[in-house]
Amino acid sequence: MENEIIAMPRIGDKAPEFKAMTTQGEIHFPLQYRGKWVILFSHPADFTPVCTSEFMTLALMEEQFEAANCKLLGLSVDGLYSHIAWLRTIQEKIEYKGMKNVEVNFPLIEDNTMEIAHKYGMIQPGESSTKTIRAVFFIDPKGMIRAMMCYPLSLGRNFEELYRALIAMQTADTFNVATPADWKPGDDVIVPIAGSYDVARERMNGKDDMTCHEWFFCTKKLDKETLWQNVLK
């Protein structure tokens, strides 16, 4: 319908449940992924050039995400046989930017009924009523949606940024901190805002492990070694 409202889950919501067939067999989501982070992402269609470049890139990064306790799940509204044929074509025929013979091992979900796409608000009629946008959902080990990113059909994603966002959220959870703009592992992190006047004054008077730019803006060091020891499993 032209005036249909497409509702997307919100940050802090439980990830909508579904059972589905994938290129790696049937899955029950998010039940069988408890205890792990998941990046669930949609692509508009099989046998399209932007999607092909994305899948090749992400397949080569899969071990990097696995080391951060994160599983990858792809989805489009194509059927299972289309998925399999496309992934075989990628492995056997496509060479791009030095990438070739790329095997995609993470599951690609069949959703030709669009049921899952509608549950996650991946169909946006203003962009296309028959293809999923490039949606990305970060789902934590408790099955909660922690972040979302949406891209139009024409824009390929930066998967290094998705990895950075994943590590930043894990860092925030593990160390009870926040991360500033353009943060990368090894950069300073932001200390939670002081909850009282006395704490704010103490910080401004100087604490060895903090740099306070103003009472509400304090940072501290978090070296890469400490971060990786606590984040990478």
Express each pLDDT in 42-96 by its tens digit: 999 999 999 999 999 999 999 999 999 999 999 999 999 999 999 999 999 999 9
Q: In this predicted structure, what is the pLDDT of residue 5? A: 52
Among residues 51, 70, 212, 218, the one annotated as catalytic is 51
CATH number reported for the structural domain that contains residue 186 in this entry: 3.30.1020.10
Confidence of residue 198 (pLDDT cuts 50, 70, 90): confident
Do 140 and 183 have their domain in common? no
The number of folded domains in the chain is 2
Q: Are residues 107 and 209 in the same domain?
A: no
Q: What is the CATH number of the domain that holds 68?
A: 3.40.30.10
Last residue within a domain, chosen from 157, 189, 214: 157
Q: How far apart are CA 55 and CA 61, in angstroms?
A: 10
Q: How far apart are CA 153 and CA 47, in angstroms?
A: 14
Cα 128 to Cα 66: distance, rounded to the nearest angstrom: 32
> What's the pLDDT tens digit per position in 155-189?
999 999 999 999 999 999 999 999 999 999 999 99
Domain carrying residue 220? 176-231
Asked whether residue 68 falls in the same domain as residue 152, the answer is: yes
Q: For residue 134, say whether it is annotated as part of any ligand binding site.
A: yes
Q: Please confirm, yes or no, whether 212 is among the known catalytic residues.
A: no
Q: Please check the confidence at residue 18 and state whether its pLDDT lies above 50.
A: yes
Residues 120 and 23 both lie in one domain:
yes
- Tell me, yes or no, whether 147 and 186 share the same domain: no
Tell me, yes or no, whether 44 lies in a domain. yes
